Structure 1
Amino acid sequence: MLATLERLEIQESAEELAAQILQSEVAEEYRRCLYKLKTDEDTQRKVREFNKMKELYEEVQRFGRYHPDYKRVMMDVRHLKRDMDMDENVANFRRAENDLQDLLDQVSVLIGRSVSENVKVPTGNPFFDSGSACGGGCGSGGSCGCS
Protein backbone atom coordinates (compact mmCIF):
# COMPACT_ATOMS: atom_id res chain seq x y z
CA MET A 1 0.00 0.00 0.00
CA LEU A 2 2.87 2.39 0.77
CA ALA A 3 4.33 1.98 -2.68
CA THR A 4 0.96 2.85 -4.20
CA LEU A 5 0.58 6.00 -2.07
CA GLU A 6 4.14 7.03 -2.87
CA ARG A 7 3.50 6.59 -6.58
CA LEU A 8 0.34 8.67 -6.36
CA GLU A 9 2.29 11.47 -4.64
CA ILE A 10 4.96 11.31 -7.32
CA GLN A 11 2.27 11.40 -10.02
CA GLU A 12 0.63 14.41 -8.38
CA SER A 13 3.96 16.22 -8.15
CA ALA A 14 4.68 15.48 -11.81
CA GLU A 15 1.27 16.84 -12.82
CA GLU A 16 1.88 20.01 -10.76
CA LEU A 17 5.27 20.45 -12.42
CA ALA A 18 3.72 19.98 -15.86
CA ALA A 19 1.06 22.59 -15.05
CA GLN A 20 3.75 25.04 -13.91
CA ILE A 21 5.69 24.53 -17.12
CA LEU A 22 2.53 25.03 -19.21
CA GLN A 23 1.82 28.28 -17.33
CA SER A 24 5.41 29.57 -17.61
CA GLU A 25 6.35 32.63 -19.65
CA VAL A 26 8.45 30.43 -21.92
CA ALA A 27 5.46 28.21 -22.78
CA GLU A 28 3.23 31.27 -23.26
CA GLU A 29 5.77 32.77 -25.67
CA TYR A 30 5.95 29.46 -27.55
CA ARG A 31 2.16 29.35 -27.96
CA ARG A 32 2.06 33.02 -29.01
CA CYS A 33 4.75 32.47 -31.65
CA LEU A 34 3.08 29.28 -32.87
CA TYR A 35 -0.21 31.16 -33.27
CA LYS A 36 1.49 33.92 -35.28
CA LEU A 37 3.27 31.32 -37.40
CA LYS A 38 0.02 29.48 -38.16
CA THR A 39 -2.14 32.55 -38.81
CA ASP A 40 0.12 34.85 -40.83
CA GLU A 41 -0.76 34.42 -44.51
CA ASP A 42 2.63 35.50 -45.86
CA THR A 43 4.44 33.09 -43.54
CA GLN A 44 2.10 30.24 -44.47
CA ARG A 45 2.61 30.99 -48.17
CA LYS A 46 6.38 30.70 -47.71
CA VAL A 47 6.00 27.43 -45.80
CA ARG A 48 3.68 26.00 -48.48
CA GLU A 49 6.04 27.02 -51.30
CA PHE A 50 9.00 25.49 -49.49
CA ASN A 51 7.13 22.23 -48.79
CA LYS A 52 6.05 21.98 -52.43
CA MET A 53 9.62 22.55 -53.62
CA LYS A 54 10.92 20.07 -51.02
CA GLU A 55 8.75 17.35 -52.58
CA LEU A 56 10.24 18.14 -55.97
CA TYR A 57 13.71 18.17 -54.38
CA GLU A 58 13.15 14.66 -52.99
CA GLU A 59 12.09 13.48 -56.46
CA VAL A 60 15.22 15.02 -58.02
CA GLN A 61 17.42 13.44 -55.33
CA ARG A 62 16.40 9.98 -56.51
CA PHE A 63 18.19 10.63 -59.81
CA GLY A 64 20.88 13.01 -58.58
CA ARG A 65 22.79 15.11 -61.11
CA TYR A 66 21.25 13.15 -63.95
CA HIS A 67 17.82 14.68 -63.41
CA PRO A 68 17.16 17.38 -66.06
CA ASP A 69 15.98 19.95 -63.45
CA TYR A 70 18.71 19.21 -60.90
CA LYS A 71 20.41 22.64 -60.88
CA ARG A 72 17.19 24.63 -60.96
CA VAL A 73 15.56 22.62 -58.16
CA MET A 74 18.69 22.79 -56.00
CA MET A 75 18.87 26.57 -56.36
CA ASP A 76 15.13 27.06 -55.86
CA VAL A 77 14.97 24.92 -52.72
CA ARG A 78 17.87 26.82 -51.17
CA HIS A 79 16.31 30.16 -52.05
CA LEU A 80 12.89 29.20 -50.65
CA LYS A 81 14.43 27.75 -47.48
CA ARG A 82 16.37 30.96 -46.90
CA ASP A 83 13.24 32.98 -47.58
CA MET A 84 11.26 30.91 -45.08
CA ASP A 85 14.04 30.93 -42.46
CA MET A 86 14.38 34.71 -42.68
CA ASP A 87 10.66 35.22 -42.05
CA GLU A 88 10.21 36.98 -38.70
CA ASN A 89 7.47 34.61 -37.52
CA VAL A 90 9.50 31.50 -38.37
CA ALA A 91 12.61 32.90 -36.65
CA ASN A 92 10.64 33.90 -33.54
CA PHE A 93 8.97 30.49 -33.40
CA ARG A 94 12.28 28.64 -33.64
CA ARG A 95 13.75 30.83 -30.92
CA ALA A 96 10.73 30.18 -28.67
CA GLU A 97 10.89 26.47 -29.47
CA ASN A 98 14.57 26.35 -28.44
CA ASP A 99 13.83 28.27 -25.24
CA LEU A 100 11.08 25.81 -24.31
CA GLN A 101 13.37 22.86 -25.10
CA ASP A 102 16.07 24.40 -22.88
CA LEU A 103 13.57 24.70 -20.03
CA LEU A 104 12.51 21.07 -20.45
CA ASP A 105 16.17 19.98 -20.58
CA GLN A 106 16.91 21.86 -17.36
CA VAL A 107 13.95 20.25 -15.61
CA SER A 108 14.99 16.78 -16.84
CA VAL A 109 18.54 17.26 -15.58
CA LEU A 110 17.30 18.52 -12.19
CA ILE A 111 14.99 15.54 -11.78
CA GLY A 112 17.64 13.07 -12.89
CA ARG A 113 20.32 14.50 -10.62
CA SER A 114 17.95 14.59 -7.67
CA VAL A 115 17.77 10.81 -7.96
CA SER A 116 21.50 10.29 -8.48
CA GLU A 117 24.48 12.04 -10.06
CA ASN A 118 24.94 8.89 -12.16
CA VAL A 119 21.51 9.01 -13.80
CA LYS A 120 21.94 9.59 -17.51
CA VAL A 121 19.60 12.23 -18.88
CA PRO A 122 19.93 12.49 -22.68
CA THR A 123 19.07 16.10 -23.49
CA GLY A 124 20.80 16.49 -26.84
CA ASN A 125 22.41 19.65 -25.45
CA PRO A 126 26.19 19.38 -24.83
CA PHE A 127 25.93 21.95 -22.04
CA PHE A 128 23.75 19.61 -19.98
CA ASP A 129 25.34 16.38 -21.16
CA SER A 130 28.85 17.38 -20.05
CA GLY A 131 28.01 16.51 -16.45
CA SER A 132 26.49 13.15 -17.25
CA ALA A 133 28.27 9.91 -17.86
CA CYS A 134 26.84 9.86 -21.35
CA GLY A 135 28.57 13.02 -22.54
CA GLY A 136 27.10 13.15 -26.03
CA GLY A 137 23.34 13.28 -25.90
CA CYS A 138 23.20 9.57 -26.67
CA GLY A 139 23.39 10.38 -30.35
CA SER A 140 26.66 8.55 -30.67
CA GLY A 141 25.09 5.25 -31.70
CA GLY A 142 25.60 3.57 -28.37
CA SER A 143 29.36 4.16 -28.32
CA CYS A 144 28.98 6.13 -25.09
CA GLY A 145 27.97 2.97 -23.28
CA CYS A 146 24.64 4.30 -22.00
CA SER A 147 22.43 2.03 -24.08
Structure 2
Amino acid sequence: MMMTDEWMRVIDMAEELSDMLLRSEVVKTYQDAYARVYSNSDLRKKIIDFNKMKEQYEEVQRFGRYHPDYKVIMKEIRLQKRALDLREEVAALRLAENDVQSLLDEVGILIGNSVSEAVKVPAGDGAFTNSSCGGGCSSGGSCSC
Protein backbone atom coordinates (compact mmCIF):
# COMPACT_ATOMS: atom_id res chain seq x y z
CA MET A 1 0.00 0.00 0.00
CA MET A 2 1.30 3.40 -0.95
CA MET A 3 1.47 6.09 1.73
CA THR A 4 -0.37 9.13 0.41
CA ASP A 5 -0.65 12.65 1.80
CA GLU A 6 -4.17 11.77 2.92
CA TRP A 7 -2.91 8.77 4.89
CA MET A 8 -0.22 10.92 6.49
CA ARG A 9 -2.85 13.49 7.55
CA VAL A 10 -5.00 10.73 9.06
CA ILE A 11 -2.01 9.34 10.95
CA ASP A 12 -1.06 12.83 12.19
CA MET A 13 -4.63 13.41 13.36
CA ALA A 14 -4.68 10.02 15.11
CA GLU A 15 -1.48 10.96 16.94
CA GLU A 16 -3.04 14.29 17.90
CA LEU A 17 -6.13 12.48 19.23
CA SER A 18 -3.87 10.13 21.18
CA ASP A 19 -2.04 13.09 22.72
CA MET A 20 -5.37 14.69 23.65
CA LEU A 21 -6.52 11.48 25.33
CA LEU A 22 -3.25 11.23 27.25
CA ARG A 23 -3.71 14.80 28.51
CA SER A 24 -7.35 14.21 29.49
CA GLU A 25 -8.47 14.24 33.11
CA VAL A 26 -9.82 10.69 32.74
CA VAL A 27 -6.41 9.32 31.76
CA LYS A 28 -4.60 11.41 34.38
CA THR A 29 -6.92 9.97 37.05
CA TYR A 30 -6.15 6.47 35.77
CA GLN A 31 -2.40 7.10 35.78
CA ASP A 32 -2.57 8.45 39.35
CA ALA A 33 -4.62 5.46 40.52
CA TYR A 34 -2.22 3.05 38.80
CA ALA A 35 0.76 4.73 40.43
CA ARG A 36 -0.89 4.54 43.88
CA VAL A 37 -1.44 0.80 43.47
CA TYR A 38 1.91 -0.17 42.02
CA SER A 39 4.07 2.16 44.13
CA ASN A 40 2.77 0.43 47.27
CA SER A 41 5.20 -2.47 47.77
CA ASP A 42 2.84 -4.36 50.10
CA LEU A 43 -0.03 -4.10 47.65
CA ARG A 44 2.20 -4.97 44.70
CA LYS A 45 3.30 -8.16 46.53
CA LYS A 46 -0.34 -9.08 47.20
CA ILE A 47 -1.12 -8.63 43.50
CA ILE A 48 1.84 -10.85 42.54
CA ASP A 49 0.68 -13.48 45.04
CA PHE A 50 -2.85 -13.26 43.66
CA ASN A 51 -1.58 -13.74 40.10
CA LYS A 52 0.30 -16.85 41.20
CA MET A 53 -2.88 -18.10 42.85
CA LYS A 54 -4.76 -17.45 39.60
CA GLU A 55 -2.35 -19.79 37.83
CA GLN A 56 -3.10 -22.49 40.40
CA TYR A 57 -6.81 -21.74 40.01
CA GLU A 58 -6.60 -22.25 36.25
CA GLU A 59 -4.87 -25.59 36.82
CA VAL A 60 -7.62 -26.65 39.25
CA GLN A 61 -10.28 -25.58 36.73
CA ARG A 62 -8.94 -28.09 34.22
CA PHE A 63 -9.81 -30.95 36.56
CA GLY A 64 -12.65 -29.40 38.55
CA ARG A 65 -13.72 -31.05 41.78
CA TYR A 66 -11.46 -34.00 41.05
CA HIS A 67 -8.30 -31.96 41.63
CA PRO A 68 -6.85 -32.83 45.06
CA ASP A 69 -6.45 -29.13 46.02
CA TYR A 70 -9.81 -28.00 44.62
CA LYS A 71 -11.38 -26.80 47.88
CA VAL A 72 -8.23 -25.15 49.21
CA ILE A 73 -7.46 -23.27 45.99
CA MET A 74 -11.08 -22.21 45.44
CA LYS A 75 -11.31 -20.81 48.98
CA GLU A 76 -7.91 -19.12 48.88
CA ILE A 77 -8.49 -17.40 45.53
CA ARG A 78 -11.79 -15.99 46.77
CA LEU A 79 -10.16 -14.74 49.98
CA GLN A 80 -7.27 -13.10 48.14
CA LYS A 81 -9.56 -11.50 45.56
CA ARG A 82 -11.84 -10.13 48.25
CA ALA A 83 -8.88 -8.74 50.19
CA LEU A 84 -7.67 -6.95 47.05
CA ASP A 85 -11.15 -5.75 46.11
CA LEU A 86 -11.57 -4.17 49.54
CA ARG A 87 -8.44 -2.05 49.13
CA GLU A 88 -9.36 1.54 48.37
CA GLU A 89 -6.48 1.88 45.92
CA VAL A 90 -7.58 -1.16 43.90
CA ALA A 91 -11.20 0.00 43.81
CA ALA A 92 -10.10 3.44 42.60
CA LEU A 93 -7.93 1.86 39.89
CA ARG A 94 -10.80 -0.32 38.68
CA LEU A 95 -13.15 2.67 38.48
CA ALA A 96 -10.50 4.67 36.62
CA GLU A 97 -9.94 1.77 34.19
CA ASN A 98 -13.67 1.64 33.50
CA ASP A 99 -13.75 5.39 32.88
CA VAL A 100 -10.85 5.17 30.41
CA GLN A 101 -12.53 2.23 28.65
CA SER A 102 -15.80 4.18 28.40
CA LEU A 103 -13.96 7.17 26.93
CA LEU A 104 -12.20 4.98 24.36
CA ASP A 105 -15.49 3.23 23.50
CA GLU A 106 -17.22 6.57 22.95
CA VAL A 107 -14.37 7.88 20.78
CA GLY A 108 -14.45 4.66 18.73
CA ILE A 109 -18.20 4.94 18.26
CA LEU A 110 -17.90 8.58 17.18
CA ILE A 111 -15.22 7.70 14.64
CA GLY A 112 -17.19 4.68 13.39
CA ASN A 113 -20.39 6.71 13.05
CA SER A 114 -18.52 9.39 11.12
CA VAL A 115 -17.92 6.75 8.46
CA SER A 116 -21.33 5.07 8.64
CA GLU A 117 -23.87 4.18 11.31
CA ALA A 118 -23.62 0.59 10.03
CA VAL A 119 -19.95 0.34 11.05
CA LYS A 120 -19.46 -1.99 14.00
CA VAL A 121 -17.00 -0.82 16.60
CA PRO A 122 -15.30 -3.08 19.16
CA ALA A 123 -16.60 -2.15 22.61
CA GLY A 124 -14.84 -2.51 25.96
CA ASP A 125 -16.42 -5.90 26.62
CA GLY A 126 -14.87 -7.36 23.47
CA ALA A 127 -18.19 -7.42 21.65
CA PHE A 128 -18.96 -5.39 18.60
CA THR A 129 -21.53 -2.67 18.70
CA ASN A 130 -23.18 -0.65 16.03
CA SER A 131 -24.04 1.95 18.68
CA SER A 132 -27.77 1.45 18.25
CA CYS A 133 -28.16 2.61 21.83
CA GLY A 134 -27.31 6.17 20.86
CA GLY A 135 -24.07 6.54 22.77
CA GLY A 136 -22.31 5.03 25.71
CA CYS A 137 -23.93 4.60 29.09
CA SER A 138 -21.94 7.45 30.59
CA SER A 139 -23.06 9.79 27.82
CA GLY A 140 -26.70 9.52 28.78
CA GLY A 141 -27.46 7.30 25.81
CA SER A 142 -30.36 4.92 25.74
CA CYS A 143 -28.42 1.69 26.15
CA SER A 144 -29.56 -0.81 28.71
CA CYS A 145 -26.49 -1.28 30.89
TM-score norm. by structure 2 comes to: 0.77
Query: 2:26, 2:99 within 8 Å by CA — same for their partners in 1?
Result: yes
Deviations 1:32-58 (A, max 9, x none): 111111111231132122122222223
Q: Report the 3-state secondary structure (helix = DSSP H, G, I; strand = E; otherwise coil) of the residue aligned with 2:120.
A: coil
| CA distance in structure 1 between the partners assigned to 2:70 and 2:8 by the alignment | 59
Is 1:43 aligned to residue 43 of structure 2?
yes
- Runs of 4+ aligned residues of structure 1 deviating over 6 Å after TM superposition are none
Q: Quote how far apart the aligned CAs of 1:122 are.
A: 2.2
Q: Quote how far apart the aligned CAs of 1:108 are.
A: 0.7
| CA distance in structure 1 between the partners assigned to 2:82 and 2:44 by the alignment | 14
Query: 1:112, 1:120 within 8 Å by CA — same for their partners in 2?
Result: yes
The one-letter amino acid of 1:64's match is G
Query: 2:112, 2:119 within 8 Å by CA — same for their partners in 1?
Result: yes
Question: Structure 2: 5+ residue runs without aligned partners?
Answer: 134-145
RMSD over equivalenced CA pairs, Å:
2.2
| CA distance in structure 2 between the partners assigned to 1:85 and 1:64 by the alignment | 25
| CA distance in structure 2 between the partners assigned to 1:14 and 1:48 by the alignment | 35
1:106 aligned residue: 106
Q: Report the 3-state secondary structure (helix = DSSP H, G, I; strand = E; otherwise coil) of the residue aligned with 2:121.
A: coil
Question: Structure 1: 5+ residue runs without aligned partners?
Answer: 133-147
Q: Quote how far apart the aligned CAs of 1:94 are.
A: 1.0
| CA distance in structure 1 between the partners assigned to 2:63 and 2:115 by the alignment | 52
Is 1:16 aligned to residue 43 of structure 2?
no
% identity of equivalent residues: 50
The one-letter amino acid of 2:23's match is Q
Q: Report the 3-state secondary structure (helix = DSSP H, G, I; strand = E; otherwise coil) of the residue aligned with 1:118.
A: coil
Deviations 1:54-99 (A, max 9, x none): 2222333333223332212211111111111221111111111110
Query: 1:123, 1:129 within 8 Å by CA — same for their partners in 2?
Result: no
Q: Quote how far apart the aligned CAs of 1:129 are.
A: 4.4
Structure number, greater radius of gyration: 1
| CA distance in structure 2 between the partners assigned to 1:75 and 1:100 by the alignment | 32
Q: Quote how far apart the aligned CAs of 1:130 are.
A: 4.4
Change (3 A) 1:118 1:81: same
